[in-house]
Amino acid sequence: GAGVSQSPRYKVAKRGQDVALRCDPISGHVSLFWYQQALGQGPEFLTYFQNEAQLDKSGLPSDRFFAERPEGSVSTLKIQRTQQEDSAVYLCASSLGSRDSALDTQYFGPGTRLTVL
Amino acid sequence: AQSVTQLDSHVSVSEGTPVLLRCNYSSSYSPSLFWYVQHPNKGLQLLLKYTSAATLVKGINGFEAEFKKSETSFHLTKPSAHMSDAAEYFCVVNQAGTALIFGKGTTLSVSS
């Protein structure tokens, strides 16, 4: 079946521009996560949704970062007034949202590589 | 707070020889632990996960990992490396059932 998809795969923005990154989770997956992966580093958690509710946004680095999932399916990560330090790969993951969430497996998309010039 | 430490940033092996990628974790309670693999320009793929059912966990592509509570370790092994195993490997701990906490990664190189 179809996995997690993300678009665009690559995005180049000039400093100060706004960008929007899209994530299509696996159909039926309740939970959706965003991670940021800097070059040569492991991914770092940004935010988490259960259906349309944003339950944790503790990883968002600044108020320039905003995520939404209005209908509990597709999610968009928006970055306003991009800065060079925002350059990274942005990964989206989804999971079933099992009752025992510690056992839940997160399935990752291919990521969006953002380069801010 | 939970964390993972991958002890080697780069491991090089010859094809057909064993692979050992080391990971230590820190957790205040019984953790859920995972190994993910990331091939160039591809998404993260789950290799295996520890969920307290058995300390020796078998994953895909011949990989396995052993949970050792006394050593707070979760090392990844494979008896015989293949060229296609060359990739970035991440040891991961699950924080409170939601956010995954990733190690910094180990690059595995396989030579012929």
pLDDT at A1: 55
B45/chain A closest Cα distance in angstroms: 7
Query: Which residue in the set A42, A91, A103 is minimally distant from B32, CB to CB?
Result: A103
pLDDT band at B29 (very low <50, low <70, confident <90, very high): confident
Show the beta-strand stretches assigned E in B51-105: 56-58, 64-68, 73-78, 87-94, 100-102
Instruction: Give me the pLDDT at residue B97, please.
Output: 64
Q: Predicted confidence band at A116 (pLDDT cuts at 50, 70, 90)? A: very high
Looking at the predicted structure, is the pLDDT value of residue A102 above 60? no
- Rg of chain B over CA atoms, in angstroms? 13
Count of CA atoms in the C-beta half-sphere (13 A) of A10: 2
**pLDDT of amino acid B51:** 80
With CB atoms and an 8 Å threshold, state whether B90 touches A43.
yes
CB contacts of B42 in chain A (<8 Å) are 110
Assess whether pLDDT exceeds 80 at residue B28.
no
Reading phi first (left if > 0) and then psi (alpha if -120 to 50, else beta), residue B84 is in alpha
Interface contacts (A, B; CB < 8 Å): 59
Q: Touching check for B2 and chain A: CB below 8 Å?
A: no
Asked if the Cβ–Cβ distance from B43 to A100 is below 8 Å, we say no
Q: What is the pLDDT of residues A24-52, one digit of tens each?
A: 999 999 999 999 999 989 999 999 999 99
pLDDT score for B7 = 96
> What Cα–Cα distance (Å) separates residue A117 from each residue in A20, A37, B18, B107?
16, 18, 43, 28
Radius of gyration for the alpha carbons in chain A, expressed in angstroms and rounded: 14
pLDDT for position B45:
93
Residue pLDDT, tens place only, A55-93 = 999 999 999 999 999 999 999 999 999 999 999 999 999
Q: Can you read off the two tokens belonging to residue A15?
A: 């400093």
Given this model, what pLDDT does residue B24 score?
96
Contact list in A for residue B41 (CB cut-off 8 A) is: 110
Return the sign of the alpha-carbon dihedral for residues A13, A41, A36, B110. Answer: positive
Predicted local distance difference test score (pLDDT) of residue A101: 57
Interchain CB contact of B7 with A (< 8 Å):
no
Mean pLDDT of B83-103: 89
Q: Do the Cβ atoms of B32 and A44 come within 8 Å?
A: no
Residues of chain B with C-beta less than 8 angstroms from the C-beta of A35: 100
Cα separation, A68 vs B82, whole angstroms: 42
> Could you tell me which chain B residue has the CA closest to the CA of A33?
B99
Q: What was the pLDDT predicted at B27?
A: 79
Summarize the confidence of residues A91-109 as an average pLDDT.
83
